[in-house]
Amino acid sequence: MKRSEPSASDLIQKARRDRDPSLAKLAAKKFEEEGDMPKRTACLFFLGELRFSAGAIKEAATHFIECRESYRELDLRKEEAQCLLKLSRCSAFLRNEPDFSSEQTFLDEALVLAKDTGEKGLEVECLVLLGASLRHEQADLAMSKYAEALKLIEAEKNNWLSGICHQSLGHLYAGQTDNWTARKHYLQALSHFEECSAEDATLLAQKQAQCCESIGDLALREGDEDEAKDRYVEAAEKLQGKPTSTQRLVDKIQQLSDS
């Protein structure tokens, strides 16, 4: 008896499980043959994510660009905005590529779509990323983006986005050597992250560890080596059992132990 070919849904399910780009491409082709363009475009989006995580940024960008155009034709504006967010991440690596838009351009376009569709969480994400992209060269404009994001977050009560926003503000003030304000925001970020549900325990641990390390860096800047070491140890403990490199933290702790 001849075995039936796997369906497009079966293929993309296996592609997601195995993180297999070839299966995702087959699924996209099958969905296209079936005339199911939203699912075909979702396959392209997944392909972009796979290639980005593999470091193939230019290839990822081509998938996200095609995906964005398809969602635009389908008038799926939330999904189009999500493609633009992914393209903003690609642009950080492809800023020297001719004719490739800047990170801010993609984020500005995504923000317009997020506002049009009433997607508050997506709007906050756009504002926070805009703030992060602007904080080194346009600190005042970055601050206004963070303030707008925090105002929205208060209504949304989203601890994850609150944590991301306060962590980004911590980076901004640390860059301005305003240690006290930077510390305040890092501590607020830690508090919000600790209240998050652990849907992605590894990512959550990474964010908590980053905040602890940043506070340690501030303490070291202020000459308090004891607190710095304690914060670095706390950061390393957050990462225990997680597939994350802690070598930088180990080196910092060792350096302080030897001093």
Coil, helix or strand at residue 2: coil
Q: Say yes or no to pLDDT of 199 above 80.
A: no
Classify residue 25 as exposed, middle or buried by CB count within 10 Å of its CB (0-12, 13-18, 19+): middle
- pLDDT given for residue 95 in this prediction: 81
Element (H, E) at 24: helix 21-33
**Model confidence over 4-26: pLDDT tens digits?**
788 989 999 999 999 999 999 99
The full DSSP string for 157-169 is T-HHHHHHHHHHH
Residue 127 and residue 164 in contact, taking contact as beta carbons nearer than 8 Å: no
pLDDT, residue 39, reads: 95
Q: Is the pTM of this model over 0.95?
A: no
Neighbours of 41 (CB within 10 A): 25
**pLDDT tier at 1 (50, 70, 90 boundaries)?**
very low
Least confident of 13-17, 40-44, 80-84, 93-97: 93-97
pLDDT band for position 52 (cuts 50, 70, 90): very high
Q: Give tens-digit pLDDT for 67-84.
A: 999 999 999 999 999 999
Average pLDDT rounded to a whole number, residues 219-235: 92
